[in-house]
A and B are shown apart, each in its own frame.
Chain A
Amino acid sequence: DTEVTQTPKHLVMGMTNKKSLKCEQHMGHRAMYWYKQKAKKPPELMFVYSYEKLSINESVPSRFSPECPNSSLLNLHLHALQPEDSALYLCASSQDRAGNEKLFFGSGTQLSVL
Chain B
Amino acid sequence: GEDVEQSLFLSVREGDSSVINCTYTDSSSTYLYWYKQEPGAGLQLLTYIFSNMDMKQDQRLTVLLNKKDKHLSLRIADTQTGDSAIYFCAESAGGAGSYQLTFGKGTKLSVIP
Footprint of B on A, CB under 8 Å?
A: 4, 6, 40-43, 45, 48, 50, 55-56, 90, 92, 97-108, 110
Q: Write the nearest CB–CB distance from B105 to chain A, whole angstroms.
A: 6
Known contacts A90-B43, A105-B42; A99/B101 CB under 8 A: no
Which B residues touch A98, using CB under 8 A?
Answer: 96-97, 99
Determine which of B35, B44, B48 lies in contact with A100 in the assembled complex, contact meaning CB atoms within 8 Å.
B48
Asked if B41 and A101 sit within 8 Å, CB to CB, the answer is: no
In the assembled complex, the CB of B2 is this many whole angstroms from the nearest CB of chain A, namely 12
Tell me if A101 and B43 are in contact (CB < 8 A). no
Q: How far is the CB of B74 from chain A (nearest CB, A)?
A: 16
Contact between chains at B45 and A103 (CB < 8 Å):
yes
Q: A99-B31, A99-B92, A101-B31 are contacts. A45–B42 as well, Cβ < 8 Å?
A: no
Most B Cβ at <10 Å: residue of A6, A42, A104, A106: A42
Secondary structure dominating the interface of B:
strand
Q: Which interface class (under 10, 10 to 19, 20 to 34, 35 or more) fits B?
A: 20 to 34
Q: Which residues of B contact A48 (CB under 8 A)?
A: 100
Residues of chain B having any CB pair with chain A under 8 Å: 30-31, 33, 35, 40-45, 48, 50, 88, 92, 96-101, 103-106
> Do the beta carbons of A42 and B104 come within 8 Å of each other?
yes
A45 CB contacts on chain B under 8 angstroms: 100-101
Asked whether A100 lies within 8 Å of B31 as measured between CB atoms, the reply is yes
B45 near A42 with CB under 8 A, answer no
> A20 CA to B104 CA in the complex, in Å?
29
